[in-house]
A and B are shown apart, each in its own frame.
Chain A
């Protein structure tokens, strides 16, 4: 097919799992040959095509073979069966780090990586400032990259990968490391990239991002391709099958002095059981359970909701809502009741806290401690984060016949 930049045809990849990893000749001789190993098929007969100019997502649980697939496309791993035909210049940003040499400075690494990715010295010099600027590491550019924070590392890697002007960009889960501002910059860059008719293949566990970003997604499970299709349908099914672990503290951080602690934070249904799947327009309750080590005077409970991309959607606390008890002691619960959940479909994270009345002293802060999905419900609105629950009306038109049609439209509804 001429409009596909990547054609994956019946690809299988086998890894050897060694029982004793001993890369020595003595060990090999004593065993009478190479080390004993078991075969493990990380990819089994996977076929799909990536159309030119698309944003293509790969999803699946941990260990399902997404990175392996991406590595095969990037020619870093060689498939044992099947073929991968590619067209154009590729640039890859694979799990943490993009082949930087830890001892070399950022500057040297840019030149080294740039030339590996096929840029001449002159082209690199022309783009150098842009690369450094985009990564935002000017101050550290002459430091060895081993001294970079993991965020800086990824930013520089992304910046090089995208500024070498590839036709196809492969990105494996790395962007999650960057902060919100950088992620936003990346999203912009992706959009720009696509406007220029380039192709992006991403691996991500952030279903919200996948849903908004991708034109097509492929779902891998235990090395097999489950399906390729439109993201909305496929991601809904993926989430329904419970592949996305929800409600546990995934990667969230927690801090506080600990006099009082939030033992659980969850959406609960009418029966009081925790739930992570809600629909737009549902009645919902967030229940906080706490435990205190000592009496706490005038505690303030807080809740916030963010999207996976870190967009701050909503927050509320008991001080602003004027719901502050004189004190709490022992254990107990507090609930936040939502008559109609006005969030549109997507995946969201809750952060919760107990602080003192001044909101300066933190007893317990649990960032991103609960993740939930919102599915289509009523009202059904087209896109974005929030539902406004509004209705279309008062359409006017110059012609009398059209006016009658409009009237029937309003009386009909």
Chain B
């Protein structure tokens, strides 16, 4: 827990570093912060074209919102995923990227990881704001659910922070952690119901069962915390209803467990960091 109090003591530094990250992200680009909206927009268009139009993924209509649009349905899951993915990989490289700082000045090093994650939170908040406006324009009613959305954004942040902390120290000792993580993120993306609904998994599971394979496919599939987060965000934003209690609890648990283990690993291995960098 001392790691957490340290983080509290360096609030000002955390704020400064976060600001630096936010400003630095699109430095020397003509469009600046606009890129943070163009990126998800481009991804949305590509996935909508491929999965919505070409592969004809069928999605259930929003219940009770009545929305029925692949692009919107997709984005409600894509934005949380993008945030988690960026924050985690950004946090992972933050120690190696700031090696010169770590070797020359003392400060609680977890601040670097936290600042990177928080800087992606800024992007995430903007994107969710824009998404809310778009959903309203298409007749959805996400407004009453926004406080809950923010709560789950917080837990998703904890989840990403924990992973970022653990991976950042791993990356100091093994530099190819980041390349490995690059591949894992691709697999993880398709193992999460972002571009297809979970009902597809159910169908596959039934098929396998009929063939006599007794694998608990759905159970295993649903162990993935991101699956739960995606379901929760979709319920709140796309469907405008309460998320399933199990999913919600699972998300909260995943966030807390991740951050506790992440901190523990970080504290355990940060001692020799300056000399390994």
Q: List residues of A whose CB falls within 8 A of some B CB.
A: 15-16, 23-26, 28, 71, 74-78, 90, 92, 94, 97-102, 108, 111-113, 115-118, 120-121
5 closest A-B pairs by CB: A99-B104, A99-B105, A115-B16, A75-B106, A78-B271
A99-B103 contact in complex given A112-B16, A120-B12, C-beta closer than 8 Å: yes
B101 at the interface (CB under 8 A from A): yes
Whether the Cβ atoms of B104 and A92 lie closer than 8 Å is yes
B13 at the interface (CB under 8 A from A): yes
Could you list 11 A-B pairs, sorted by A, with CB under 8 Å? A23-B175, A23-B176, A24-B174, A28-B174, A76-B102, A76-B104, A76-B105, A98-B105, A101-B100, A116-B13, A118-B13
B69 at the interface (CB under 8 A from A): no
Whether the Cβ atoms of B104 and A112 lie closer than 8 Å is no
B272 at the interface (CB under 8 A from A): yes
Give the dominant DSSP class at B's interface: helix
Whether the Cβ atoms of A99 and B16 lie closer than 8 Å is no
Whether the Cβ atoms of B106 and A92 lie closer than 8 Å is yes
Interface magnitude class on chain B = 20 to 34
Whether the Cβ atoms of B174 and A99 lie closer than 8 Å is no
**Set of chain A residues within 8 Å of B16, measured between Cβ atoms:** 111-112, 115, 121
CA distance A101 to B20 in the complex (A): 11
Q: Which of B207-231 contact A (CB under 8 A)?
A: none
Whether the Cβ atoms of A26 and B176 lie closer than 8 Å is yes
**Set of chain B residues within 8 Å of A100, measured between Cβ atoms:** 100
Closest to A34 in B: B173
Whether the Cβ atoms of B174 and A76 lie closer than 8 Å is no
Whether the Cβ atoms of B106 and A23 lie closer than 8 Å is no
> Of A15, A78, A97, A116, which one neighbours B107 at CB under 8 angstroms?
A116
B274 at the interface (CB under 8 A from A): yes
Whether the Cβ atoms of B274 and A76 lie closer than 8 Å is yes
CA distance A75 to B6 in the complex (A): 14
Whether the Cβ atoms of A23 and B174 lie closer than 8 Å is yes
Whether the Cβ atoms of B272 and A115 lie closer than 8 Å is no
Whether the Cβ atoms of B20 and A108 lie closer than 8 Å is yes
A12 to chain B, nearest CB (A): 14
Q: Which of B52-111 contact A (CB under 8 A)?
A: 98, 100-107
Given A94-B103, A121-B12, 11 more contacts at CB 8 Å?
Answer: A24-B176, A25-B176, A71-B274, A76-B106, A78-B271, A92-B106, A94-B104, A98-B104, A99-B105, A115-B12, A118-B13
A15-B275 contact in complex given A25-B174, A25-B176, A101-B100, C-beta closer than 8 Å: yes
Q: Which of B155-191 contact A (CB under 8 A)?
A: 173-177, 180
**Set of chain A residues within 8 Å of B180, measured between Cβ atoms:** 25
CA distance A100 to B100 in the complex (A): 7
A94 to chain B, nearest CB (A): 5
CA distance A405 to B272 in the complex (A): 69
**Set of chain A residues within 8 Å of B271, measured between Cβ atoms:** 78
Closest to B105 in A: A99
**Set of chain A residues within 8 Å of B13, measured between Cβ atoms:** 115-116, 118
Whether the Cβ atoms of B173 and A116 lie closer than 8 Å is no
Closest to B172 in A: A23
**Set of chain B residues within 8 Å of A113, measured between Cβ atoms:** 105
CA distance A24 to B178 in the complex (A): 11
CA distance A363 to B121 in the complex (A): 66
**Set of chain A residues within 8 Å of B104, measured between Cβ atoms:** 76, 92, 94, 97-99
B166 to chain A, nearest CB (A): 15
CA distance A78 to B271 in the complex (A): 6
A101-B176 contact in complex given A75-B106, A76-B106, A111-B16, C-beta closer than 8 Å: no
CA distance A28 to B177 in the complex (A): 12
CA distance A25 to B181 in the complex (A): 12
**Set of chain B residues within 8 Å of A23, measured between Cβ atoms:** 173-176
A6 to chain B, nearest CB (A): 14
CA distance A182 to B53 in the complex (A): 69
Closest to A24 in B: B176
CA distance A75 to B102 in the complex (A): 10
Closest to A97 in B: B104
Closest to B97 in A: A101
Q: Which of B1-39 contact A (CB under 8 A)?
A: 12-13, 16-17, 20
CA distance A74 to B98 in the complex (A): 18
> Of B100, B105, B177, which one neighbours A92 at CB under 8 angstroms?
B105
